[in-house]
Amino acid sequence: AIHPHDEGLTMSSSLLRLARRAAASAPASTLLAPTMFAPARSSVQPTLGRPWLQKSSPVVNVTMGFSSGTGKPRKPGVASDEEMEAFFAANSSEEIVVIDARNTNFELEPDDARWDDASGAPMAACGTALRPRACNAPYDRAAKSMDLEGLEPLLTKGKDTPIITHCGGGGRGQKAKEYLIAEGFTNVLNGGGPSVKANWEKFGGI
């Protein structure tokens, strides 16, 4: 006769052999730590008939900023709505300087003609009552530089003056920001441009 204790050992051995066979036949990518001792409220649900196996699927959350009104993603480096709000909360609009990196030579930058007409704040208005604290300092793609001579009279805090750069959509606005930072400016934000309407409504009239 088989002692009850020995019968329990025999059943355990059989279960163990079955578990090893199942594990050997399963893809390696599905093998996880055993969950048979997991708490009752565990979010890990065992695979039917194989409590030591579990498949998992990664969850990816993607947040993308969009240019309001266009449905297009903002260009790399362009400030989000939250970043723009924080910039205005930390800096007085009377101190902020706007650098318009668009080029008045439309042969070099054809798109600037379109955005200049559509923006409601053309390059020619820089330094006028329409855009009193704006300075047109085109970013030169070939030379990778800017002429900042017209900027100096607006720098109320020297190189710590808060500055917003922009072009039509923010590509050269980002280049201008990087150039200014390399020149020692410490408080620079890329506002994008007229195509980023949420941002443009904040600083387009400065």
Q: What is the pLDDT of residues 119-173, one digit of tens each?
A: 777 899 999 999 999 999 999 999 999 999 999 999 999 999 999 999 999 999 9
pLDDT score for 115: 78
pLDDT (tens digit, 9 = 90+) per residue, 29-41?
444 444 444 444 4
Other beta carbons less than 10 A from residue 67's beta carbon:
22
pLDDT score for 63: 35
Q: Which of 202, 197, 130 is nearest to 168 (CA)?
A: 197
Find out whether 87 and 189 touch, Cβ atoms under 8 Å.
Answer: yes
Please give the mean pLDDT across all residues of the chain: 78
pLDDT score for 111: 85
Question: Using CA atoms in the order 72, 110, 168, 77, what is the torsion angle rounded to 10 degrees?
Answer: 70
Distance CA 13, CA 19 (A): 10
Find out whether 97 and 135 touch, Cβ atoms under 8 Å.
Answer: yes
- The DSSP line for the chain is ---HHHHHHHHHHHHHHHHHHHHHHS-GGGB----TTS-TT-SPPPBTTBTTB------------B-TTT-SBPPTTPPPHHHHHHHHHHS-TTT-EEEE---S-TTT-HHHHHHHHHSSS-GGGBTSSSBTTEEE---BTTTTB---GGGGGG-TTGGGS-EEEE-SSSHHHHHHHHHHHHTT---EEEEE-TTSHHHHHHHTT-
Which is more confident, 73 or 72?
Answer: 73
AA letter at 142: A
When pLDDT is cut at 50, 70 and 90, the band that residue 87 belongs to is very high
Q: Which residues contact 94 (CB under 8 A, 6 or more apart)?
A: 133
pLDDT score for 163: 98
Distance CA 14, CA 33 (A): 21
Looking at residues 72-84, what average pLDDT do you find?
Answer: 94
Name the percent of the chain lying above pLDDT 90: 58
pLDDT score for 114: 81
End-to-end CA distance of the chain: 97
